[in-house]
Structure 1
């Protein structure tokens, strides 16, 4: 008789977790649409993958953390897709990837994030679209030589 309340409690916990996961999934789908993903089937699949990867990294009852991690996974997926299209390593070129993300989200490229995500290797056409719309510093960067500075320390002599 004591097994029934435990089974009911486990079933209710599983139903609650499934409901939270579906809420998080809807949040991630909305975020993917804002990232310029267009294909509904791809959005559905990518959202479920992001939620599943995030679920492995969080406590079971923390839906806010699950949502945050799932959105991070969606952002990571887009960054990896942009890095593949540009033919660079995302962890070694974070400023280039950030610029490419800005170009995709702010520029009118005529393509969605789907094309970048579904592309398996470096693509010169997609890369050229991104490079045309990369943010440029205003005014353009102009490095100058820095004059040597004497260091002064409070507690001991200057070097």
Structure 2
């Protein structure tokens, strides 16, 4: 029995509600093809992936990859830095920096062209200074 079916049956036996996401069709190069499935459930104000994936990496994998990249950047550079990334990468990093469980990453707004500011002093006491500022918003850093 495949993992998704086993997880689905177990959740149904426990009386849990699940949602299934399935890729019906795709065009061009994609990390997964038609028929790829994933099970999701609501948890702690967010969404938890129960089994499967319709993407290339899990958010845990994204978080680890992005964390190592950020640490490399901070080891080589100092002062004011601009790091540009996709919303999923931003959310995963912010979760790690502020101690928010990954299941709740979609609680963090990340609009197109939104600006998020992290203060990363040498002693690694990270601080979220601004989250998802709209273009043209005033920004005062301490």
Using structure 1 for the length normalisation, give the TM-score: 0.25
Normalized per residue, which structure has more helix?
1
Structure having greater relative contact order (Cα 8 Å, sep ≥ 6): 1
Q: Which has the higher strand share?
A: 2
Rg larger for? 1
